[in-house]
Amino acid sequence: MAERRPRLEGKVAIVTGAGSSGPGVGNGKATAVLFAREGAKVLLVDSVEERAAETLAMIREEGGEASVFAANVIKADDCRRMVETAVERYGRLDILDNNVGISRRGTVVEVKEEDWDHVMAVNVKSIVLCSKYAIPQMVKGGGGAIINISSIAGLRAHSSTPYTASKAAVIGLTFSMAADHGRDNIRVNCIAPGLPYTPMVAPRMDDVLREQRRKAAPLGTEGTAWDVAWAAVYLASEEARWVSGVVLSVDAGLAMTTPVTYTTLAQQQYAPPRQ
């Protein structure tokens, strides 16, 4: 059998939030590593340079090609320079993974105005700014793929109002961008991760909650950043050439269930015993 060509061979990609906020591998880091493993040259963008440098070390160890660019993606000038740098270093731009995202807790009664503004800026405005400068470069190259990272929180109420609202906005933004730039051969899609165990959530998790999250979804298995990253590889690749404007849930089936039905207790009460 012929050897498979790497899916992203010859492509140039930007991943924002390409480091991880704690020890281990988060969504941005895993995505950058898989993009490089699949043959892309990757610009690793993070506001904390050392975090992106850790991702670079992982990629270099595997023989992949990548480099670090320190930027705060809520600043237009940083986003412009980020895109210019990708083109200067690698000659073109094909893929943008808008991964950066943060959370602040609170209802509309509790949330501080500055927290609301900051979450909306990091989770939504950053996508607008990064895409604003990336799309003209993709057009020059004949097209591209943009992947916006939303969340199950964009589809269902979550325990944080600013996070839920911002992640729902990412979905609307994806639809709008996909419609506006389809004729430029730019595909824009969205990933809605469920409740994977990643460095972003680990500090807020004890073993009991971690187990509850695992058991909440029909598959009953724990997700990792690699699950999210493989979805990004697919959406970035030519294999998804006819896919645009979708919200791909990567959540072990969680978003399609009714509340509580899949907890152990509910299974005992409602479901016939398994033979």
Ligand X SMILES: NC(=O)c1ccc[n+]([C@@H]2O[C@H](COP(=O)([O-])OP(=O)(O)OC[C@H]3O[C@@H](n4cnc5c(N)ncnc54)[C@H](O)[C@@H]3O)[C@@H](O)[C@H]2O)c1
CA distance 30 to 232: 10
Q: Does residue 17 bind ligand X (CB under 6 A)?
A: yes
The CA dihedral of 79, 163, 50, 130, to the nearest 10 degrees, is: -10
Output the smallest distance, CB 69 to ligand X, in A. 10
Find the residue with minimal CB distance to ligand X.
101
Number of H helices, E strands in the chain: 9, 7
Output the smallest distance, CB 61 to ligand X, in A. 19
DSSP 124-165: IIHHHHHHHHHHHHHHHTT-EEEEEE--GGGTS--SBHHHHH
Candidate list 11, 41, 51, 125; residue touching ligand X; CB under 6 A:
51
Q: Does residue 36 bind ligand X (CB under 6 A)?
A: no
Residue in 133, 163, 234, 262 annotated catalytic: 163
Q: Is position 262 annotated as part of the catalytic site? A: no
* Tokens found for residue 117: 């503004």
Output the smallest distance, CB 108 to ligand X, in A. 20
Check: CB of residue 31 under 8 Å from CB of residue 230.
no
Q: Does residue 149 bind ligand X (CB under 6 A)?
A: yes
247-250 and 144-149 strand pairing: unpaired
Output the smallest distance, CB 46 to ligand X, in A. 5
Q: Which of residues 197-236 bind ligand X (CB under 6 A)?
A: 198-201, 225
Nearest to residue 96, comparing CAs of 131, 122, 48? 131
Three-state DSSP class for residue 12: strand
Q: Does residue 20 bind ligand X (CB under 6 A)?
A: yes
Which residues partner with 45 through β-bridges? 16, 69
Q: Does residue 154 bind ligand X (CB under 6 A)?
A: no
Residue position matching structure tokens 């809520």: 74
Give the binding range for ligand X (CB under 6 A) out of 43-51, 79-87, 203-211, 252-260. 43-51
Q: Which of residues 178-197 bind ligand X (CB under 6 A)?
A: 193, 196
How many CA atoms within 13 Å lie on the side-chain side of 48?
A: 12
Q: Which of residues 103-122 bind ligand X (CB under 6 A)?
A: 122
Q: Does residue 162 bind ligand X (CB under 6 A)?
A: no
Check: CB of residue 176 under 8 Å from CB of residue 186.
no
CA distance 26 to 127: 19
In terms of CB distance, is 8 or 30 closer to ligand X? 30
Q: Does residue 28 bind ligand X (CB under 6 A)?
A: yes
Residue 25: C-alpha distances to residues 31, 32, 128 (Å): 10, 11, 26
Output the smallest distance, CB 218 to ligand X, in A. 18
Output the smallest distance, CB 132 to ligand X, in A. 15
Candidate list 14, 96, 147, 151; residue touching ligand X; CB under 6 A:
151
Query: Residues in the site for ligand X, rule: CB under 6 A?
Result: 16-17, 19-21, 26-28, 46-48, 51, 71-74, 99-102, 122, 149, 151, 193, 196, 198-201, 225
